[in-house]
């Protein structure tokens, strides 16, 4: 969020408090596909799902939320546009 406020270009995403299916579906449509569902409290690939189209979204949300809850004690998710076959990504 600080990077967005500083004007740094970032991948479109959603990190909001509203976690209901309707909100996540609306935000996914805004972000566009493909997108990644990620556990906000997680890491190591747990609670992460790649979604190619809207018909997959709700099932993948449920799976990611369940994994996140079991692994990290929180089912909160974030959505990000997926970067497929990037040529170069560097963060320092």
Q: Compute how many other C-beta atoms are within 10 angstroms of the C-beta atom of residue 25.
A: 15
The pLDDT tens digits of the residues spanning 47-67 come to 899 999 999 999 999 999 999
Query: What does pLDDT average to over the chain?
Result: 93
Burial of residue 2, with CB atoms counted within 10 A of its CB: 0-12 exposed, 13-18 middle, 19 or more buried: exposed
Of residues 88 and 70, the one with the higher pLDDT is 70
Q: Which domains does the chain have, with CATH numbers?
A: 32-83 (3.30.1490.20)
Cβ contact 57:41 at 8 Å = no
Cβ contact 61:21 at 8 Å = yes
Model's pTM, two decimal places?
0.86
């Amino acid at each position: 969020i600080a990077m967005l406020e500083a004007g740094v270009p970032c991948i479109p995403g959603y990190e909001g408090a509203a976690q209901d299916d309707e909100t996540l579906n609306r935000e996914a449509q805004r972000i566009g596909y493909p997108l990644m569902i990620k556990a906000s409290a997680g890491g190591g690939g747990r609670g992460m799902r790649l979604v190619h189209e809207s018909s997959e979204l709700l099932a993948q949300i449920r799976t990611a939320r369940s994994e996140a809850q079991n692994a990290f004690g929180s089912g909160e998710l974030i959505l990000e546009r997926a970067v497929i076959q990037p040529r170069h990504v560097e963060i320092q």
